[in-house]
Amino acid sequence: MRVAFSGCTLPGAEEPLFTVEPGRMALGLGIHGEPGIAESELPTADAVADLLVDGLLSERPPEHREGERRVAVLLNGLGATKYEELYVVHRRVDARLREEGLVPSHPVVGEQVTSLGMAGLSLTLTFLDDELAGLWAAPALAPAFQRGTLSPPPSRTDDLPAPRTAPVEPGTPASRHAAHHLARALRTAAETVAEQEKRLGDIDAVAGDGDHGIGMRRGTEAAARAAEAALEAGAGAKSLLARAGEAWSERAGGTSGALWGAALSAAGRTLGDAEPVTPETAVRAVRAGLDAVLRLGGARPGDKTLVDAAVPFTERLEERLGGRGGGEGPSRHPGPGSGTPESARPDRGPDIPPHTSDTSAAVRTDRGPGTPDHIPGSVGADRGPGAPEDISVAARVDGDVGGPMDGVAEWVSAAEVATRAAEATADITARLGRARTHGDRSLGTPDAGAVSFALIVTAVAKAMSEPEAASGPPAVTGPEALAVPETVPGARAGHGREARSGTATALVEGEENP
């Protein structure tokens, strides 16, 4: 249980994640810097100790009340609280525990787990049995914790093999052409997230730890670099997305990093390294990515997560592109209302919740005063000088590619749906993640994960609408740009791309190595 007298400031941030007014104390904060769930007048040191002890003893397990008296005590400083102050609080903690008939075992007082420069402290009690008591008292030697004496550790060895990424399996010319566009889309996503990093962090700090912007910037940049390196090595769509997903998961960290990494890997397995990518297979890949997120994260629409934007985005794509060519394409996942039971849908595990085709609740626009009309950078927002008023006009590309091409308008439409759905999460209280303990606090603020998803798919829509630079492949736009004959000139690996290093090697747990 934790209390804080000031918030912490992330490196590079201009202000702390939350503030505590002088003479006040925050109670129940998160170790990652999340604000407390309540505030009170600043009490005395003894009153702080009583508050922490009473709160923890109220959760004492019943079996520990019958004879066992030993308890492990850890009084931890959060970064800016002096050791003298910690010992003053510990004096009262120890006295209170003994008044309750408990025997403190090997108490630890000091900074063990800090939250940058936060002023505050936490108290941890572990109710011991014989086994736990022996483990708690055992000698230990670690960079941040030492107890007793241990034999000298063995000499350090540096001959362990470095992790290696499996070599890229060359893709066919058609798949490499698609990979080029995927790498371009990932680079666009990285640039967009970098521009919006601070805002994403500010949104996340309202009811979370404020690091969503940092994590997304690191993840998208790593994914873009890994994709460009894979492209230079001749990767097709599957291999490129697998490398990008690994890099995103490894570098971003956190839940969102793992989910985005899994989504890219799942999408890549749908596309493969041999076949050209059609609008229908592109939609199937998006569905596979969403299914991976639903399976691993367990979120449902209405939980105030990225799923609230990803589900309506995917369903709009399936509605607009999945039925091309005179009815549903043979590879399209049956959508809601198609008459196919949920259990019959391909690649959907039993733990994936049914999704609803009624996304009206997710795209409400009656958000009250003060809610922005558009997420910055989204479709319909101010895109700066030179940007078309309606991005969908770029869906028609004439000239060298042999007439107007379709597909971009459908993606833009889905991105607009995702943007409205992300904005509408301001009306939802969080039910998952760290923000769930601050559900009411999050009202009026959209979910950072949903916002970043909308920003990314909107940026990709804009990239799809712009012809390639002269050094790139032919200026084909939209999902059709991914589909080319096996002998398309200029579709060789890495065409017009600079090779970059930094490919990460970690796979998301549960995802197979492509």
Nearest 5°: the CA angle 290, 427, 455 is 45
Does residue 124 sit in helix, strand or coil? strand
CB-based contact 171:179 (threshold 8 Å): yes
Give catalytic residue positions.
32
Burial class (CB in 10 A: 0-12, 13-18, 19+), 52: buried
Structure tokens at 50: 């009583």
DSSP summary character for residue 170: B
Nearest 10 degrees: Cα torsion 191, 194, 195, 198: 170
Structure tokens at 224: 């873009």
Helices 448-465 and 197-205 sit at what angle, rounded to 10 degrees?
A: 160
CB atoms closer than 10 angstroms to residue 12: 9
Report d(CA 440, CA 401) in Å as an integer: 52
Beta bridge partners, 121, equal: 3, 77
Report d(CA 225, CA 247) in Å as an integer: 9
Per-residue CA distances from 228 to 55, 232, 443 (Å): 53, 6, 40
Q: Using CA of residue 99, residue 103, residue 105, residue 106, what is the dihedral sign?
A: positive
Report d(CA 403, CA 245) in Å as an integer: 35
Tell me the chain's radius of gyration from C-alpha atoms.
27
DSSP summary character for residue 118: B
Sequence-ordered strand ranges (E) for 331-370: none
Report d(CA 477, CA 318) in Å as an integer: 19
Report d(CA 131, CA 48) in Å as an integer: 31
Nearest 5°: the CA angle 390, 391, 392 is 90
Look up tokens 């579709």; give the residue.
491
Q: Say if strands 24-27 and 140-142 run parallel, antiparallel, or are unpaired.
A: unpaired
Look up tokens 């493969």; give the residue.
272
Give 137-141 contacts, CB < 8 A, sequence gap 24+. 137/105, 137/106
| Residues, the chain | 514
Report d(CA 356, CA 130) in Å as an integer: 52
